Homo-oligomer: A and B are copies of this chain.
Amino acid sequence: MLTDELRERLRGLPTAALSTELRKRGLPSTVIDGVRSLAPGASLVGTAKTLRFIPLREDLFASHGGGQNAQKQAFDAVQPGEVIVIEGRGDATAGTLGDILALRARERGAAGIVTDGAVRDAEVVAGLGLPVFAAGAHPSVLGRRHVPWEADVTIGCGGAAVQPGDVIVGDADGVVVIPPALVNEITAAAEAQEAQDAWVAARVAEGAALDGLFPMNAEWRARYDAERGA
């Protein structure tokens, strides 16, 4: 369960720290590559609601692209605190959402949107106050390249597998995916590591060498433990 308290703690943690803890636990692949926040300084935390597109095929677009299609259904159904994560097949030459859908997501209380395709009306979307991470901006509608297909299945986004309910965290470095069963452990470990790294950074700012300090040898470790115990 991604409680409000856990959300706040995750919001204070860089994706770099979370990525390190995921890697320590045998999960080096849970990073969504190639996406950036449309607005500077965005911080994204939520649980994944997934949406899968397939390559454009005109007959399937005719049967699945109009009306209240899978894309629009997902945006109408998103729950507060969820992040809509879109498999846009890494193709940034068509939008995978636009301003009206992003607005709907914000009104539903969504925590944000991640797509490895492009965003239309990118300037308007960037101004909505909703964290949106994308591979780029493009004026074209999704039907130029995609058919909206289904929601709430396991997808691939930016080279990472994402399941509904996975915890999604994004900042200026990118977006990471945390399996829900690990989120407590990863959060606590990243906090501890961040505290230690902040202390290391303070020593480096005082002129200390990396050698022996980063990572810490026994001497530095003793000093660190002593100061923390004080």
Give the copy number: 6
What's the tally of chain A residues with a CB closer than 8 Å to chain B? Answer: 78
Closest residue of B by beta carbon distance from A119? B173
Choose one: B122, B137, B144, B174; the contact of A138 (CB below 8 Å).
B174
Q: Does A79 contact B (CB under 8 A)?
A: no
Alpha-carbon distance between A28 and B159 when the two chains are bound, in angstroms? 18
Q: Does A49 contact B (CB under 8 A)?
A: no
A139 touches B19 (CB 8 A): yes
A54 touches B173 (CB 8 A): no
A99-B197, A123-B173 known, 9 other contacts, Cβ within 8 Å: A26-B58, A31-B140, A57-B161, A68-B211, A100-B197, A107-B204, A107-B205, A137-B173, A139-B173
| A and B contact pairs by CB, cutoff 8 A, 28 listed | A14-B121, A14-B124, A16-B98, A16-B140, A20-B141, A23-B143, A26-B58, A28-B144, A29-B58, A31-B139, A33-B138, A55-B160, A60-B161, A66-B215, A76-B209, A76-B210, A89-B156, A99-B201, A100-B214, A103-B201, A103-B204, A103-B205, A107-B204, A122-B173, A137-B172, A139-B174, A139-B176, A147-B161
**Residue positions of A touching B, CB distance < 8 A:** 14-16, 18-20, 23, 26-31, 33, 41, 54-60, 66-68, 72-73, 75-76, 89, 93, 95, 98-101, 103-104, 107, 120-124, 137-141, 143-144, 147, 149, 154-156, 159-161, 163, 171-174, 176, 179, 197, 200-201, 204-205, 207, 209-212, 214-215
